[in-house]
Structure 1
C-alpha cells in the first residue's frame, strides 16, 4: 500500500499529532507512507520520521488550484493509492480526486463537537462525502452521526494511539515541588475549559499545601487566555499557576508531574489522556466524548461532568488528598493504555480498515 496523510497544519493539536503518528507508524509497515501539510507548518514537523515522505503545499485559499496541482503531481509521482484526509483537509482531497478518479479517500473525523451540529452547518462535508471510500471516527457518537448523515456507507471507529518512542528533548523544567505538580495539557481555547480547573484549584487552596498547576499549550493571546491570566493575578497565584505555551518535549514535561487534568466540554478522543497514561499520571478527566470509555471512574482515573463545578472540585480534592489513590490510579491507567491503545494494536486495525 502507498498512503499519504493530509492535515491542514502541524501545530500541536490532537488531530495533527495523530496524522504525524499514523505517517510514522505506517512507514514501518507499508511500501510508502507520506505526510502533507496543506496550509501551515508547525512544531510537529520536527516529529516526522526520516522514512516518511513530507510535503508542504503552501495552500493560500480555500480553493487554491496551484496547491491542488502540486498535490496531484505528488500523488502521481509517488503512485499513491489512498489519501487519508484528516478533519477539514477533505476539501482539497476531493478536488484532487476530481482530476484523478482512481484515487481513494478515507476521511478521518477528530472533531468531538460535530455530533451536536446541524446538517446545515456541515452541508459541504456531507455533499462531498459521496467521494469518500471510508470514514474513520474517533468515538462512537461520531460514528453514529456519520452513519446517519453522510453519503458513505463504510464508517469505522479507529481509536487513537500513543507511541512509546523515547523523546530526545528535555528542555522544559516545571516549577514547583516534585510529587505536587498538576499538569493541564491543552491549547488555551474553547472548549478546553481551563477556567473550571483554575477556580477549583483556587477555592481548594491547593497552593497552600504545596500544589502547583502547569498549563501547557498554545496561547492565542485572546479573551480566553486573558481570563486565565486575570484569574491568576486576581488571586495572587503567580507562584502556583504557571503558563508555558506550546512545547515539544511533552513526555519530559509529564514525567515531572503526578496528576494530569482534562476538563473539555466537548472532546473526540483526546490523545492527551493517552499521553498522561503512558507517563503514569493519576488522571481526573471530563466524561465527554470517548473519555468515559478510556477511563473507568475510580478504577484508572476520576471522571467529572465538565458543567458541574461541585463535581470537579470534589474529584480534584480527592486526588490531591490521597497519595496511595494517585499511585493506584496511575498504575492502572498506564497498564490500560499499554494494553488497549498501543501503536501495534491500532495500526493493525487501521491497515485492515484500509484493505477491506
Structure 2
C-alpha cells in the first residue's frame, strides 16, 4: 500500500468543507509514509498554503467538462508518480471517470460530501448511477448518503466514514471585532444552503435584549444575490455594529479561540467539518437537525439541536447559551471530548487505508 500512490482529486482549494477534508486527508496520508498527492482540476485556492512539505501537487487548469489536454496531463502525472488510486471528492468524480476510460488500471474511490444528493432525480442521477459502475468504492459522510448509495446506486462497496478535523494553520492574522466572551461564530461560505439568514433572523429577535453580543460570519463571499440579501438584512435591521463578515480566512483555530458560541444554521448538510472544528476549539454549539449534525452532538447531549429554517427555535437556543456561562462550558467540554474520541485522524486514516486496499 505504501508504495502505491494516492491522489486526492477536487475542483478547487477554496475553503469549503470538502476542500478542507481533502487537504486534511492528503497531509494525514503523508504522515503515514504513503506516497500522497493532491490535484485541483479547475483552480488552485487558498488552502494550498496548508500542505505539508512531502505532498505532491498538480493543478490542471481544466477549462471545460471534457478537457482532453487536462486528462492526458493527469494520466502522465499518475504514471510518473506511481499513483494507483484516485480519491475523487464531490463533483470531481466526472473527471476521474474520464481518466479511467483511457487508463483502466487506476482505481477510483468517490467521496460523497453532498447531503442533498439523496434527492437527485432525472438525468444527473442517471449519469452518477452509470459512472458509479466504474468506482471501486464510495465513501459517504453520513448514513443517509450511504443508504442512498447502496439502495439507489446499487453499489456493493459503499461505506460511511466520518470526517475528521485538524488545525494546520497556526497563523493569528484575523482579529474578531466585538466584546470578548460575547461572540457567536458561523464557519460557512455564503451559500444559500448554509442559511445564514436564518441565524441572522434569530439573532435579530433577541438582539435588543443582548446588545453587546455579536455575530461573526467566516467564509467565502461569492458576491451574488444571496450575499446581497445577507448584507441588505444587516442594513435593514441596523445590525452593522453587531454582525461582521470577514470573507475567506485560514487561521480557523485562532478565530475559534476568540469565539464564545459556534453556530450552523444549514438547510442541508453531509457531515460539516466546521462542526467538528468547533469541538476541537471547545465551543458550545447550536446546529440545525440536518445530515449527521444531530449524531455528532449525541442527540443534544453535547450541544443544542434545532429544526432547520426555524428562527424562533434557534433564537431560543442562542438565548439559552447567552444566559448561562455554565451551560456553555459544560457543552463545550462535552463536544470537545466527543470529537476527540469519535472523529480522530487516526481512526479515519485506519479505515481509509482499509478501503484503499479492498
CA distance in 2, matches of 1:343, 1:10: 20
- Pairing partner for 2:37 from 29, 34, 38: 34
CA distance in 2, matches of 1:169, 1:22: 21
CA distance in 2, matches of 1:215, 1:62: 33
> Is the CA contact (8 Å cut-off) linking 2:172 and 2:254 kept in structure 1?
yes
Structure 1 residues without counterparts, runs of 5 or longer: none
Match in the other structure for 1:139: 142
CA distance 1:203–1:59, change in 2 (3 Å): same
Match in the other structure for 1:192: 194
Match in the other structure for 2:239: 237
How far has the Cα of 1:211 moved from its partner?
0.4
Moved more, 133-142 or 219-228: 219-228
CA distance in 1, matches of 2:88, 2:201: 38
Matched, 1:83 2:76: no
Match in the other structure for 1:9: 12
Match in the other structure for 2:318: 316
How far has the Cα of 1:149 moved from its partner?
2.1
Q: How does 1:75-154 map to 2 (within 5 A)?
A: 75-154=78-157
CA displacement 1:17-68 (0-9 Å, x = unmatched): 1111111100121430000000011111101111110000111100000000
Match in the other structure for 1:216: 218
Matched, 1:49 2:52: yes
Match in the other structure for 1:331: 333
> Is the CA contact (8 Å cut-off) linking 1:298 and 1:329 kept in structure 2?
no
- Pairing partner for 1:74 from 73, 77, 87: 77
CA distance 1:74–1:127, change in 2 (3 Å): same
Structure 2 residues without counterparts, runs of 5 or longer: none
> Is the CA contact (8 Å cut-off) linking 1:206 and 1:212 kept in structure 2?
no
Matched, 1:158 2:125: no
CA displacement 1:151-173 (0-9 Å, x = unmatched): 531001111001254x3211010
CA distance in 1, matches of 2:232, 2:46: 28
> Is the CA contact (8 Å cut-off) linking 2:294 and 2:300 kept in structure 1?
no
CA distance in 2, matches of 1:331, 1:288: 23
Partner secondary structure for residue 41 of structure 2: strand
Moved more, 260-269 or 85-94: 85-94
Match in the other structure for 1:306: 308
Number of matched residues?
A: 355
CA distance in 2, matches of 1:149, 1:30: 36
How far has the Cα of 1:308 moved from its partner?
2.1
Matched, 1:176 2:173: no
CA distance 1:164–1:216, change in 2 (3 Å): closer
Moved more, 243-252 or 115-124: 115-124
> Is the CA contact (8 Å cut-off) linking 2:132 and 2:155 kept in structure 1?
yes
> Is the CA contact (8 Å cut-off) linking 2:170 and 2:253 kept in structure 1?
no
> Is the CA contact (8 Å cut-off) linking 1:11 and 1:43 kept in structure 2?
yes
CA displacement 1:126-165 (0-9 Å, x = unmatched): 1111111100000000001111222531001111001254
CA displacement 1:209-267 (0-9 Å, x = unmatched): 41010011111112111111111111211111101101111110111001000010100
CA distance 1:228–1:239, change in 2 (3 Å): same
